[in-house]
Amino acid sequence: MKLFIFLLFIIGQNFTYSNKTKNAKPRIIGGEVAFAGQFPYIAAIYKSTNTGTFFCGGALMNNQWILTSGYCVDGAVLFTIYLGAHNLKANDPNVQKFATDTFVLHPNYNLDTLENDIGVIKLRLPVTFTDYIKPIDFLPSYDLLPNMGGIMNLGWGQLNDETAGITDELHYVYLIPISNEECQLSFGSQILDTMVCAGGNFNEGFWKGDSGTPLVRYSNGPRTTHVGVASFISKNGCDTPEPSGYTRTYPFVDWIRNVTNIE
């Protein structure tokens, strides 16, 4: 059995960079660099705890709530959130910055198994929508996975095993969802009905720093449905052909709506 690992990234460490990755293709893993405003619902989340600061991602659901993983809110004492961001180090007038300490962790979240790995963060004040900041279009009304294609994951996570640290620029990658039976070939019985795996060509997927980022499905042009939350990957590293693991959004839609009062 190949165990999965968590995807939070610790901020504030010192890293060295290998010459082997200087010319690596920019990617979440195997993906492309996004342009400013391409994904206006993406949130960059800095989670502060009593032991350190961690980086995650999330998706804006309306003018005050962000959907992310349970691991990205568990133990938090403060969040610093950037909306409208593309390059995290750029002085960008389109970015809005928020601080909040309000979140809801799913009551049945299990740190050891990552079961029910989902949570929501509430901003203190409603965000003003712009061309660069808009909520995701839909939560799923039925289970779209794994039979529906056209899905995508995005984030600022680590590019590969050798180049440590989150990236400055937002990246995205197209993926194909797979059946839980196929996913169990990599992760065994840890894969539950509330989880789903997805992969691409060889090693496409996500890596450290991408926890909580949305798996989305595009339909009717640019309109997007939130179908998964980035949760786990294989302990064997990102430079392997093994799939990425997500929390399915659909089984938790009622819980999300009850907590946030989103229609």
Instruction: Give tens-digit pLDDT for 218-255.
Output: 877 678 999 999 998 766 655 566 788 999 999 999 99
Residue 12's pLDDT band (cuts 50, 70, 90): very low
Residue, of 15 and 169, whose pLDDT is higher: 169
What integer pLDDT is reported at residue 32 of this predicted model?
84
CA distances in angstroms from 62 to 45, 84, 125, 138, 223, listed in the order given: 16, 14, 12, 10, 15
* Gap between the Cα atoms of 263 and 62, Å rounded: 10
What integer pLDDT is reported at residue 112 of this predicted model?
92
User: Which one-letter amino acid corresponds to residue 142?
Assistant: Y
What integer pLDDT is reported at residue 218 of this predicted model?
86
Q: Given the DSSP bridges, would you call strands 32-33 and 171-178 parallel, antiparallel or unpaired?
A: antiparallel
What integer pLDDT is reported at residue 229 of this predicted model?
96
Q: Given the DSSP bridges, would you call strands 102-105 and 96-100 parallel, antiparallel or unpaired?
A: unpaired
* pLDDT(26) > 50: no
User: Shortest CA distance to 208 belongs to which of 250, 173, 165, 172?
Assistant: 165
